[in-house]
Amino acid sequence: MNFRETFSIVDKNRVSAKSDIFSGLTVALALVPEAVAFSFVAGISPIVGLYGAFMMGLITSIFGGRPGMISGATGALAVVMVSLVAEGELMGDGQGLQFLFATLILTGIIQMSAGFLKLGKFIRMVPHSVMMGFVNGLAIVIFMSQLGMFKIGGEWLTGSSLLIMLGLTLLTMAIMVFLPKINKNIPGALVAIVVVSLIVIFGGVETETVKSFIQAGGGDGIKAGLPSFNVPVIDLNWDTLAFILPYAIILAAIGLIESLMTLNLLDELTETRGSGNRESVAQGLGNLVNGFFGGMGGCAMIGQSIINVKSGGRGRLSGVVAALALLGFILFASEYIEMVPIAALVGVMFMVVIGTFAWSTFKVWNKVPKADVIVILLVTVLTVIFDLAIAVFAGVIISALVFAWQNALRIRARKTTDEHGIKHYEIYGPLFFGSISLFNSKFDIKEDPNEVVIDFAESRIVDQSAIEAINKLAERYQKEGKTIHLRHLSKDCLALIKRAEEICDVNVVEDPDYFVAIDNFNKYKAKLAN
């Protein structure tokens, strides 16, 4: 693939430029309240959040590994940034924001390193049950975050204000549901936002708007100039590094996990495959640039990404349009964007919740193993209570333990004695740390004859614990004055077994099929010829 193909903004063979443009504009409108809200969560200016969404969105759209995926300021990172900014204020005499920018630079370097080291491939280790729990939990988190839009000054809306908010939200959702049934080429989300905005503006409807939302949080508006280059103003010493490094690692880990999980989800929705390593590099570059240009940083946004894909945005152009439109709002159209009713944007996000939640969970409830059901519920709950990183780590660990336990029970041994009085043990199943106890229970060392053959043709020695178990088994037979023969061990096991070779006979040459599985056939033929 050449450079032009790799970084092409419009793929004429797969996507529609028209769909990308309209979906990009829709996403840009949805990004505004999200970026502003997460800025308030982190305790920083809304402009910093908007700058961060613009730079992250533009860089990852061009260089990222998943066309159509949207990145920007996210709540998962904002929660970590709260403590970072607050502690930075105390540590650096009011320089909390500068510590944030320095941390983002280090975060970017860590994420880019992960991409260059090709660590993105490890996202394949995430089981489907964890993915289902992830999307369910995230759908609930998005829903709960939108409920905050029904408050003013921390108090829930009541009376006519609440009814108007609910009515406009439901109208937005209704337009998004029914408009595509009339014409699939019409961008339902964008039309819904425009129609509801016109009703509010020209109908004189009193309701919350983007402007009132920003003012309620202590901001003045979204109008600003272009972001400018600045090196974070902090003292560069070991104390500073010791302070920002843990935050940088946490931000990098959460950002990569959320981005790669979103990438996997979009892969399933679009039936295409993105590059996790390339996305890791792009995410890192985005955060690095944010650190030098005064942005909040961020990662992939599952809600906006789904809005984009469901609106027809499948190419890189959609993300570029969203980022540039957001910048345009900041520079030229702030007064118009501030008129958009919050209810319209909430309606769009509620539709995202409906589209994000894995409703198939209820269908497979009684059809999948109980362990998978537990993992789905656990990841869902942990995502809501804590954050995505903790939920995914816990889900993967539990899935791995269940897998290890199930495989530990699969170790079996078929026992036979031949006409020469030699006892044969044919081992079936993987031999690893979890199956060692069961493996050892298969042997009757004191009652066995003086010569024993252990055949691993249908087994596999997986780890160092298994090798050590074989060594100890050989020693136990030796103490009884008996000889064992190990057969059909793979080449890597032969290289690792040291002590066992001195007290037992080891070979693999008897089994051509197994040998071919661990080495290429030509080498095997050469071995036989010699």
d(CA 42, CA 104): 14
Q: Which has the closest alpha carbon to 57: 338, 352, 388, 326?
A: 326
Counting Cα atoms < 13 Å in the Cβ hemisphere of 406 gives: 10
Confidence of residue 56 (pLDDT cuts 50, 70, 90): very high
Does any domain span residue 461? yes
Is the pLDDT score of 4 beyond 80?
no
Does any domain span residue 47? yes
Does any domain span residue 7? no
Identify the domain boundary among 400, 429, 462: 400
CA 469-127-277 angle, to 5 degrees, is 100
**Statement to judge: residues 392 and 426 lie in one domain:** no
**Statement to judge: residues 394 and 510 lie in one domain:** no
Is the pLDDT score of 3 beyond 60?
no
d(CA 258, CA 352): 17
**Statement to judge: residues 203 and 89 lie in one domain:** yes
Q: Which two tokens stand for residue 92?
A: 């650096």
Specify the pLDDT at position 291.
95
Q: Are 146 and 350 in contact (CB under 8 A)?
A: yes
| Residue carrying structure tokens 């009884």 | 480
**Statement to judge: residues 326 and 394 lie in one domain:** yes
Q: Report DSSP state, residue 149.
A: G
Counting Cα atoms < 13 Å in the Cβ hemisphere of 6 gives: 7
| Residue carrying structure tokens 């269940």 | 402
Instruction: Please tell me whether the overall predicted TM-score, pTM, comes out greater than 0.85 for this model.
Output: no
**Statement to judge: residues 390 and 492 lie in one domain:** no
Does any domain span residue 3? no
* Count of residues in the chain: 530
**Statement to judge: residues 230 and 322 lie in one domain:** yes
SS3 387: coil
**Statement to judge: residues 59 and 187 lie in one domain:** yes
Does any domain span residue 9? no
Q: Which stretches of 185-293 are DSSP H helices?
A: 188-203, 210-216, 238-270, 276-293
Q: How many domains does the structure of the chain reveal?
A: 2
What φ, ψ does residue 210 adopt, rounded to 5°? -60, -40
Identify the domain boundary among 378, 400, 422: 400
Does any domain span residue 96? yes
Does any domain span residue 2? no
E strands in 309-409: none
Identify the domain boundary among 347, 378, 400: 400
- The enclosing domain of 491 has a CATH number of 3.30.750.24
Helix (H) or strand (E) holding 518: helix 512-518
Residues with Cβ within 8 Å of residue 29, at least 6 apart in sequence: 190, 193, 337, 340, 345
The domain in which residue 474 lies consists of 409-529
Give per-residue pLDDT as tens, 283-306.
Answer: 999 999 999 999 999 999 888 898
Give per-residue pLDDT as tens, 467-482.
Answer: 888 888 888 888 888 8
SS3 414: strand
d(CA 442, CA 422): 16
Specify the pLDDT at position 499.
54
**Statement to judge: residues 100 and 165 lie in one domain:** yes
**Statement to judge: residues 455 and 500 lie in one domain:** yes
Specify the pLDDT at position 105.
96
Write down the mean pLDDT value for the chain.
Answer: 83
Give per-residue pLDDT as tens, 97-110.
Answer: 899 999 999 999 99
Q: Are 258 and 238 in contact (CB under 8 A)?
A: no
d(CA 73, CA 523): 54
**Statement to judge: residues 284 and 307 lie in one domain:** yes
Q: Report DSSP state, residue 355.
A: H
The one-letter code for the residue type at 264 is N
Helix (H) or strand (E) holding 166: helix 159-182
